Structure 1
């Protein structure tokens, strides 16, 4: 099986990267943290113009009708730039839920509206429900409009968490499929976050001097960076393989998604740890941009299924296959 992206995927990724590179993302994120979602929503508006919001929305409802591979390509770039807001919920989960319950709401998603989702036990809170135009609550397969409660604290200030209570019932949906899309998109987001942390840390190591010597020339630093690089490269085939499994409706899709979520989460967490170690004390400060990526990795590591939950799914799938 060939996991390499073709030129159309590479061009799509480059276009998203170019768009987000023009925005001052640290400033956008800090504004979002402070409750000013205006700059972030403007970024989302531009992303919608490229088709990101409507990737999984069919063409009949003004979307692109793309697949899980396209989704992973796009969300990895959003992760690289730590885009704030309900990334996974808007691009992956809400389209899947609305397709069978309220397809008339899909054009609004494709045009730029944000959506968020809560579904206990693995997704107990809706991310950034105050900034989303649509909040969905899933309970035993029933999808309803969620009524927003009081915000809960999160390790990532750019991920405000809200409990939802059931309102208008829209219908029933296959949440297992939607959950796998959510976990897959979260894995892609973590992969992108980890890549930026590695690149940022490598660049810092090339410039920072101690005792008259660039720290990047030290063998210990090289080994740490190499370990993070290997982890990220090893997780990428699992991510792409899971995307193909979801796209093709493979019976092993859930297993492959869980394997990707674990691998990408572990790789991103390692990149975060190495980044913090190499940057030293400055990496602990909220004033340094590194903190914006570090806290998001920590939050997403347990989002859309904890590592333990996904490891159990992989183990169960392997045992049943014997």
Structure 2
């Protein structure tokens, strides 16, 4: 068995990197934070042209019918570049909830979808600008109406309380939909953690103290090496979970990936602050965009305690 990404998957990730690196993502994120969504919408449409929004949608609705591994490849890059918006809900979760003509608009990048799935996803992300808001109540799908806005540690994650309304239908597989949401979030965490590591390494090479780059000191090298190790140990768990999305061990593997990716990204965030020093705490520095994203995603689509409990139950 070949445990490596295909050339097509590697090229797809490179295409996303090339596109997002050419954009001023810091400006896009800051605009999204203050409610200016047009720059973020342009990024959404640009990624839709690459096929990101159509990944796991069936071909009859204009999708690519790709695998969960392809989904993870894409969401790792979305996390690396801290792309704002309800990507998990629209691209990963919705196609697993139901299949009808509305997915055509999602595949084309014309529809943004927000989803509340209590108790583990009690609030809907970006429900104020979503073209469709879905409230998952067990196997029932209902139209959601956003009520009050809530604050988040990540300013670019605009959360809303939602009231369930008109019945939309029956969920195809709500358990699998939730697991795909957790898997995509784990991929975002891994990508964000890698971005924090890369940023910290670059800073350690150019920041000088006592006549030497701080990256030459053993203490800094050890900190960064620990992060690199943690990320590399989480990556195979993430891709193993993607392969297992259709197997009986799906919940165990997805939870293991979510916990491992969250721990690795959290370590990358703490180390990034240590390496950057006081400048890393400033609102003006772009490091904070990844720091707050990690902090928010660790508890999104299931808390670490919930996922650890699922692992324990699966093993016992």
Q: Is this a same-fold pair by TM over 0.5?
A: yes
1:283 to 280, 284, 289: 280
Question: Hey, what does 2:117 align to over in structure 1?
Answer: 119
2:255 to 241, 255, 258: 258
Instruction: State TM-score, norm by structure 1.
Output: 0.96
Question: Hey, what does 1:274 align to over in structure 2?
Answer: 271
2:95 counterpart of 1:63: no
SS in 2 for 1:300: helix
Confirm or deny: 8 A CA contact 1:201 1:278 kept in the other structure: yes
CA RMSD between the two structures: 0.8
- Counterpart-to-counterpart distance in 1, 2:3 and 2:123: 34
- Counterpart-to-counterpart distance in 2, 1:303 and 1:288: 24
- Counterpart-to-counterpart distance in 1, 2:123 and 2:167: 18
SS in 2 for 1:150: strand
Q: Deviations over 1:63-87 (max 9, x none)?
A: 1111101100011000000000112
1:304 to 268, 291, 301: 301
- Counterpart-to-counterpart distance in 1, 2:244 and 2:137: 26
2:101 counterpart of 1:104: yes
- Counterpart-to-counterpart distance in 2, 1:97 and 1:47: 23
Instruction: State TM-score, norm by structure 2.
Output: 0.98
Confirm or deny: 8 A CA contact 1:135 1:146 kept in the other structure: yes
- Counterpart-to-counterpart distance in 2, 1:183 and 1:206: 35
Confirm or deny: 8 A CA contact 1:3 1:237 kept in the other structure: no
SS in 1 for 2:134: strand
| Cα shift at 1:11 | 0.6
SS in 2 for 1:171: strand
Question: Hey, what does 1:146 align to over in structure 2?
Answer: 144
2:44 counterpart of 1:44: yes
Question: Hey, what does 1:211 align to over in structure 2?
Answer: 210
2:292 counterpart of 1:295: yes
Question: Hey, what does 1:192 align to over in structure 2?
Answer: 191
Confirm or deny: 8 A CA contact 1:98 1:105 kept in the other structure: no
Aligned length: 314
SS in 2 for 1:145: strand
Instruction: Give 4+ residue runs of structure 1 displaced > 2 Å after superposition.
Output: none
Confirm or deny: 8 A CA contact 1:85 1:131 kept in the other structure: no
- Counterpart-to-counterpart distance in 1, 2:34 and 2:221: 37
Q: Deviations over 1:86-112 (max 9, x none)?
A: 12111101121132xxx1210011111
Within a 5 Å distance, the mapping from 1:5-20 to structure 2 comes to 5-20=5-20
- Counterpart-to-counterpart distance in 1, 2:15 and 2:167: 38
Confirm or deny: 8 A CA contact 1:137 1:166 kept in the other structure: yes
Question: Hey, what does 2:166 align to over in structure 1?
Answer: 168
